[in-house]
Amino acid sequence: MSSALHKKIVSGGFLLIIVYAVLAAAMPLMESFYQIRIDLRLMPISNAHWLGTDQFGRDTLAMVIGGCFASLSVAAMAVIIGAGIGIPLGLMASSQENFASRSILSLNDFIFAFPALVTAILIHNIFGSGIVTAGLAIGLFNIPVFARTLYGAARPLWTKDFIKAARLAGKSNIAIAAVHILPLVSSVAFAQISMQMGLGILAEAGLSYVGLGVVPPMPSWGRMLNEAQTLIVIAPRLAIIPGLAIAASVFLFTWMGDKLSDYADPKRREGHDHDHA
């Protein structure tokens, strides 16, 4: 794939992500459409309700647009926690091999044993259901994900001769990390951010489905799936539509993550296999 085409595709993806963010910001405007109106319940698709209404008379389209907010904010909070703590940890562990770096890696392996759902169950008593619980729970699991990726990308760089040259030029570890290492691993970090946004949206849907995510009246795609389950025979669209919204947004982010990581890997960017000749 040519570099120019690649750039176009990536910028197209960014555009879609911006549209998504705008929709999320529009949630307050939607509020009047997802008030409970029993008189309007289970209305079919019509001009007034483009995607119909649910069993409480709430407009499905408004609910879907409103759901962007919960998804995006939980996933973003989780990524900020994960990347904010995980990236420095990974870089720190990569800079040298000593007790501290081994401890960081062991701690990573330990946190991997806490899937978001288990953490959410545990901290539910402290924070109740809501964006904070979901964001923290997913974010905790994101920490080792980011740390491990950055460690893997940065570790081989530290043994390069240009790092030794930078040391001889009098640069400290932190300065080297900032001017040499970070720029070289930033594309890996961006790819992982995009990937974790997608997986975060998935995780948020799961938590909301079991009642550990955002609470009503804030709309949430996961809870929409839960509420639609009993009506699966009479109104299957209520289950299909929010699922599509989740799948489409996860696809957008994970696909962008893939494109960015292709970009980070020059071998793959050039589009053909290298040989060892």
Partner 1 sequence: MTTLELKSLSVNIGSRRVLDNLSFTISKGEIVGLVGASGSGKSMTARALCGLLPNHAKPSGTLILNGETNALDDIKAFADKRGRDIGLIFQDPAGAFNPLMSIGDHVAEALVRRDGFTWPHAREKARATLDRAGFPKSIPAFDRYPHEVSGGQRQRAMIAAALVQAPKILIADEPTTALDVTTENAILKLLKQCASEDGLGILLISHDLPALARIADRLLLMKDGRLIESSQLPLTEADAPELARLFELSHKAPAPSPSHEHPTLLQTKAVSKRHNNRSGFLSGSRATIHAVKNVSLSIGEGEIIALVGESGSGKSSLARILAGLDRASHGDVMWASGKGRVQMVFQDPAGSLNPRWTIGRSIGEPLSLPADHPQVKEAARDAGLDPALLTRCPHQISGGQAQRAAIARAISARPDLLILDEPVSALDFEIRDQILSLLERLRAMHGIAMMFITHDVSAARRLSDRMIVLDKGEIVESGLTADVFSAPHHAVTKALLAAASPSIKEGRERS
Partner 2 sequence: MLIRVLIQKLVGLIAFLLLASVFIFLIVDVLPGDPAELMLGTDSRPDTLQALRHQLGLDQPLPVQYAAWIIGFLRFDFGTSMTYATPVLTLIAERLPVSVPLAVMSLALTTMIAIPLGAFSAHQPGSALDRMIRIGLQLALALPNIWLALLLIMSFAVGLHWLPAGGFAGWKSGAWPAFKSLILPLLALAIPQAAILARIVRAEMRDKAQELFVLGARARGLSEKDILWHHILPNAMLPILSIMGLQFAFLIAGTVIIETVFSLPGLGRLIFQAITQRDLPLIKGVAMLLVGSVIFINQLVDLLAALIDPRLRRQSGASL
Q: Distance between alpha carbon 40 and the CA centroid of its chain, in Å?
A: 35
Site string for partner 1, 90-109 (x = CB under 8 A): ------------x---x---
- From candidates 131, 254, 263, 264, binder to partner 2 by CB under 8 A: 254
CA gap 14, 8 in Å, rounded: 10
| Count of Cβ atoms closer than 10 Å to residue 109 Cβ | 10
For residue 123, state whether it binds partner 2 (rule: CB under 8 A): yes
- From candidates 50, 109, 179, 270, binder to partner 2 by CB under 8 A: 109
Please choose, out of 3-11, 25-33, 38-46, 109-117, the segment that lies near partner 2 by the rule CB under 8 A.
Answer: 109-117
Site string for partner 2, 179-198 (x = CB under 8 A): -------------------x
Q: Residue 174 CB, nearest distance to partner 2 (Å)?
A: 29
Closer of 39 and 275 to partner 1 (Cβ) = 275
User: Which residues form the interface with partner 2 (CB under 8 A)?
Assistant: 109-110, 112-118, 121-126, 141, 198, 202, 205-206, 209-212, 222, 225, 228-229, 232-233, 236, 239-240, 242-243, 246-248, 250-251, 254-255, 258, 273-274, 276
